Structure 1
Amino acid sequence: MNLPVTDLIVFIIITLGNVIFGASFFLRNKTSSQFTTGGGKLPAWVVGMSIFATFVSSISFLALPGKAYMSDWNALVFSFAIPVAAILAAKFFVPLYRNLGSVSAYNYLEVRFGSWARIYASICYILTQLMRTGAILLLLALPLNALFGWNIKTIIIVTGIAVTVYSMMGGIQAVIWTDAIQGIILVVGALICAAVLTFSMPEGPSQIFEIAAANHKFSLGSLSASLSESTFWVVLIYGLFINLQNYGIDQNFVQRYMTTSTEKKAKSSALFGALLYVPVSIVFFYIGTALFSYYTARPDLLPANIDGDKVFPHFIVNGLPTGLTGLLIASIFAAGMSTVSTSINSTATIVLSDYYQKYFNKNADDKSSMKVLYSASVIFGILGVLISLSLVGVESVLDAWWSLASIFSGGMLGLFLLAFLSKKVRNMDAAIGVIVGVLVIIWMSLSPLYFTQGKLLAFRSPFHSNLTIVIGTMAIFLVGFLSLKLAKKK
């Protein structure tokens, strides 16, 4: 498919401008503190916008409208839990990390349970970010391949190099400022798309709501107590746990708490980023519903082979005026770039703080620390590209990875809550809890893939996949406490 030259120019200018702007921070990035925390002098609104942009990946940009188009607004309930998690973060997590004074999210686990906890959590985080980077780079390449006809592997390599370069050169300052710009582009693109759809209906804007209401597209899900379906309550509980994980122990978020000059500003940035996501996610769901109404009213405009997640990209290319298509494609690309750049910087920070400065050079000066940060950024970028290239054409690997990612992240959240909510739980109690909890998460994640017929069905998890992190986290927490109580009785 060949897009107008105007769209191509808009896309290239916005994308290249982001890369150049990010790289320009190289001159302000001379110390390891500037690389990892920006010297603690970044504006709160910029940090908040960065938190928002990190939360919204290119997957969200395409997947949320796709979900609304195919079903209803049930997945929006996830967003309702975000303000709750953000308030808890502002009240408890931000003061905790700023008082510890460590840029690493996993230093706290070592303080409570010893080195094994920090190593376990940091390795899980690094592995998760590696695969996330590979998946995002691939998902960025696929629409560009379809729209411009560019080679998928070439797009992955060029994109990976570009993001790695500005992340390495500009450090967290480049990441946060470019995130902020990319977040603004993303919001503007979504609002423009929503407006164009609203005023493109044959019988006027009200037709969107008439068709959507007739097809129950605004439903937030069943209010039943079922634990095997995606009900309102299942999505809400899942959203609360996954967002507690994000705000409580995800290095991407924790590192940003350290980039403002005061604790008050750090709290406001966390709340700003979270509260901004809620209305923007509503816009994404509205786009999906509007697409359903639009193509229901104009079925002649939608080819038979286009459905689900492919409908929004189809509209971007065929339903938007020239120039706006380039802006929307740049918005999707910007969302992905912000996620990848954040992963690169945060992982390099973990390599420095959790491994190099702790085990190899405890008195490292800025010169050696910067070498480690640069080297880790490049190595992580290269590995992300290689993983992405290995995933080309193998969708089942992506599905399997998301199951494995829940294994890693569930164990991390349970361990953190055990450390944070009880001062009496011992090292051994935590280790036993993690082992049992991770086994529960492995069973819930993988049993639906392998126990599919016959007598094996009896061993299959009866719970909805969204409850994996919920039940796994609770298992770690409860087993840790039970271990403590049993030890006291001996």
Structure 2
Amino acid sequence: MLAQLSLIDLVVLLVMLLIMPTAGIIVALRKKNAADYFLAGRNIRWWTVAGSVFGTNISSFHLIGMLGIGYSIGFVQAHYEIVFPAILLLCFVFLASYRRLEVFTLSQYLEVRYNEHARLLYTILLILIILVQLVGSFYVGSITLQWLLGGTSFALSYWQGLLLIGLITCSYTIWGGMESIVITDTIQTVMMLAAGFAVAYFTLGQPEIGGFTGLLNLDAAQPRAIQKMHLYLPSNHPNLPWTGVFTGLLLQHCFNFTTNQFLVQRVLAASSDQDARRGIIASGFLKLTIPFFSIAAGVAAYYLFEKRFPGLDFNSDNAFLKLVETVIPRNVGLVGMILAGLVAATFSSVDSMMNAATTLLTVDVYQKYVNPKANDRQIVRFGRQMIVVMVAASIGLALWTYTPDRTNNFMLKVSAQLSYFTPGIMVAFFVGILWRGASARAAVWAMALAPVYGVVVELIYNYGLATIPAVSDLFGLKLNFMHRVFLTFVLSFSTLVMLSRTAYPNQNITGFERLRVSVDGPQLARAVGLFLLVQAVFVSLVFLGHFSPKMIAPWAALATLGLFLLPKRAVEDPQPVSVLRAGFGFNSDSLWAGLLTAISVGVLYYFA
């Protein structure tokens, strides 16, 4: 690809790529203590929180993979970006407790709530999760560089691409820590959005498509069974069943935005609770743009290639690169800008995950067990050493685990791999903050048994229940990972509750009290119940009143926004942290959260 670039494309590509490490290295020159290195001195503003969260959450295998899934499956992939329940949970349930304790890691939070064993187990599980994601990001990043540099004197092999990614990210993360990362993540977010919007603009602008409205009309003209611009697939769909979307995938979103160290670390680094809250809400708005430029462009690519290249059969994950070759004007710098955004997407997740993993290893292993009396200089030095270790491990695993021949819908495969570990973690956090009776030993068992439960329910379904025609017709021949996540969550939840009530009654009430939780279970239940009641009315109008979901969408969105404008009921606390006191309550943060939720709900109805 690089051999085909014009001079202006090369200049744009090189300038944009040099901005990232340069900005990171400039920040890295400042002297840093432990708080500066791991949490940017707890001084980042809301727009940087938003850019860093988005950049951390979206990597090259998301940018390529989202479009590829849009191409092969359809707009239903948008459910991965509709994350308002998780954002509300972080902003108005967990955030105040996390920040009040002034912890470096979420594992420290678990130690306060439970004990040091829960802290250590979380650290181990998160390191495994981060490693899986790091390996995937290195893998996709390397094959992207192979494609980019192919046919030039700079052509790279697979292992050389892995090494180059490691060296570039190390150049600023080792010395700059979190402060360098949040700056580069924000730059990378702008580059990724520019690249994604450019590809979408020129793809949707092709005469065969006729814009976004043309895409909707083109899709509507197809038989319903093969239409792609819908959000709901049958419950037995092998990849994205609607039943899994509203159970397991919803739980996965909650894990990522409320209990995942490498994403929540940005919230811990914010300069104030308000900056943290507004930053995470703003990142939710940014994520809502992805369906309309990345996934929609993938659907448009399906129809475009069908018309322009009849009989074309190729890997769906190559749709992004094929679009760049097909629709982007040459000799104006756009190709260079898009390729820079693609490369930036690789670095944005790799550097963030490396920093999170090293924070866990440094704070929860080195400082806790190896050298409890370590000073700031020793802590930062160990953190830098762990970055090198994590990069070396990721490169080694990428070489051992994957071949350079990418498989279709790689993103879905990585999501499935990660989901064995997450349900138990979610249970420990959710139950721990909402129920004072949750005990430490029960929480440890719930986290430890979750991967076992996942394997067991998969085996029982695939080799037992799936042989029953009625069951396989309803949920498919293989248990979808989203269904597995939900079942594992239920089993882990039951384990924690039963053990807390029987074998291991809670002996650490003070841990719960130290959290100073601003919303309890009944309050949260009332808010969720009110939301579900409103949606039940509109769903009934669709199924019983035979109203079109498109007709219902704006009214459902307005009614949802109205929930966030309800006045608060008087409470004893004159300055309540939570907006979940009665209804949702009103203030500027809840208004923005309401807008995010309303738009998301509107999308869920409109593309039904």
1:209 aligns with 2:220: no
| Aligned mate of 1:73, from 67, 75, 88 | 75
Which string of whole-angstrom CA distances, capped at 9 and with x for unpartnered residues, describes residues 383-425 of structure 1? 2222222234177998987554222223322222232222112
| Aligned mate of 1:468, from 480, 484, 487 | 484
Which string of whole-angstrom CA distances, capped at 9 and with x for unpartnered residues, describes residues 215-245 of structure 1? 32211114x6669773334213333211110
Question: In the superposition, relative to structure 1, how do residues 226 and 405 fare at CA in structure 2: closer, same or farther (>3 Å)?
Answer: closer
Q: Specify which structure has the higher proportion of helix.
A: 1
Q: CA deviation at 1:147?
A: 3.5
Counterpart of 1:484 in structure 2 is: 500
> Which one-letter code corresponds to 2:319 in the other structure?
V
Does the aligned pair in 2 maintain the 1:106–1:249 contact within 8 Å? no
Counterpart of 1:443 in structure 2 is: 456
Counterpart of 1:434 in structure 2 is: 447
Alpha-carbon distance between aligned partners in 2 of 1:245 and 1:226, rounded to the nearest angstrom:
24
> Which one-letter code corresponds to 1:69 in the other structure?
Y
Counterpart of 2:323 in structure 1 is: 315
Does the aligned pair in 1 maintain the 2:12–2:337 contact within 8 Å? yes
Q: Secondary structure at the match of 2:419?
A: helix
Q: CA deviation at 1:449?
A: 8.4
> Which one-letter code corresponds to 1:441 in the other structure?
G
Alpha-carbon distance between aligned partners in 2 of 1:454 and 1:393, rounded to the nearest angstrom:
34
| Aligned mate of 1:158, from 153, 164, 172 | 164
| Aligned mate of 1:425, from 419, 435, 438 | 438
Does the aligned pair in 2 maintain the 1:138–1:391 contact within 8 Å? no
Q: CA deviation at 1:261?
A: 1.6
Does the aligned pair in 1 maintain the 2:67–2:294 contact within 8 Å? yes
1:139 aligns with 2:140: yes
Counterpart of 2:401 in structure 1 is: 391
1:241 aligns with 2:251: yes
Which string of whole-angstrom CA distances, capped at 9 and with x for unpartnered residues, describes residues 316-348 of structure 1? 123212232222222121111110000111111
Identity over aligned residues, as a percent? 20
Counterpart of 1:43 in structure 2 is: 45
Does the aligned pair in 2 maintain the 1:78–1:236 contact within 8 Å? no
Alpha-carbon distance between aligned partners in 2 of 1:92 and 1:202, rounded to the nearest angstrom:
48
Does the aligned pair in 1 maintain the 2:432–2:438 contact within 8 Å? yes
Counterpart of 2:176 in structure 1 is: 170
- Structure 2, gaps ≥5 residues long: 506-608
| Aligned mate of 1:306, from 290, 299, 314 | 314
Counterpart of 1:119 in structure 2 is: 120
Identify the structure with bigger relative contact order (alpha carbons < 8 Å, sequence gap 6+): 1
Which string of whole-angstrom CA distances, capped at 9 and with x for unpartnered residues, describes residues 151-194 of structure 1? 22111101111102211111111111111111111111111111
Question: In the superposition, relative to structure 1, how do residues 165 and 418 fare at CA in structure 2: closer, same or farther (>3 Å)?
Answer: same
Counterpart of 1:191 in structure 2 is: 197
1:348 aligns with 2:358: yes
> Which one-letter code corresponds to 1:282 in the other structure?
F
Does the aligned pair in 1 maintain the 2:462–2:478 contact within 8 Å? no
Does the aligned pair in 1 maintain the 2:68–2:316 contact within 8 Å? yes
Question: In the superposition, relative to structure 1, how do residues 289 and 400 fare at CA in structure 2: closer, same or farther (>3 Å)?
Answer: closer
Q: CA deviation at 1:249?
A: 1.2
Does the aligned pair in 2 maintain the 1:410–1:473 contact within 8 Å? yes
1:59 aligns with 2:72: no
> Which one-letter code corresponds to 1:268 in the other structure?
R
1:411 aligns with 2:424: yes
Question: In the superposition, relative to structure 1, how do residues 307 and 402 fare at CA in structure 2: closer, same or farther (>3 Å)?
Answer: closer
> Which one-letter code corresponds to 2:190 in the other structure?
I
Question: In the superposition, relative to structure 1, how do residues 319 and 449 fare at CA in structure 2: closer, same or farther (>3 Å)?
Answer: farther
Q: Secondary structure at the match of 2:110?
A: helix
> Which one-letter code corresponds to 2:500 in the other structure?
L
Q: Secondary structure at the match of 1:177?
A: helix
Q: CA deviation at 1:203?
A: 7.5
Q: CA deviation at 1:141?
A: 1.4
Alpha-carbon distance between aligned partners in 1 of 2:79 and 2:458, rounded to the nearest angstrom:
22
Q: CA deviation at 1:271?
A: 1.0
Does the aligned pair in 1 maintain the 2:199–2:323 contact within 8 Å? no
For 1:314-393, list aligned pairs within 5 A.
314-322=322-330, 323-393=333-403
Cα root mean square deviation, aligned: 2.9
Range with bigger deviation, 407-416 or 95-104: 407-416
Does the aligned pair in 1 maintain the 2:466–2:477 contact within 8 Å? no
Alpha-carbon distance between aligned partners in 2 of 1:244 and 1:282, rounded to the nearest angstrom:
23
Counterpart of 1:220 in structure 2 is: 231
Alpha-carbon distance between aligned partners in 2 of 1:396 and 1:309, rounded to the nearest angstrom:
8
Q: CA deviation at 1:195?
A: 1.3
Range with bigger deviation, 387-396 or 59-68: 387-396
> Which one-letter code corresponds to 1:19 in the other structure?
P
Which string of whole-angstrom CA distances, capped at 9 and with x for unpartnered residues, describes residues 277-322 of structure 1? 012233212111221232233236xx73435222221111232122
For 1:234-273, list aligned pairs within 5 A.
234-273=244-283
Alpha-carbon distance between aligned partners in 2 of 1:416 and 1:138, rounded to the nearest angstrom:
31
User: Normalising by the residue count of structure 1, what TM-score does the alignment of the two structures yield?
Assistant: 0.90
Question: In the superposition, relative to structure 1, how do residues 42 and 227 fare at CA in structure 2: closer, same or farther (>3 Å)?
Answer: same
Alpha-carbon distance between aligned partners in 1 of 2:209 and 2:74, rounded to the nearest angstrom:
23
Does the aligned pair in 1 maintain the 2:243–2:483 contact within 8 Å? no
The structure with the largest alpha-carbon Rg is 2
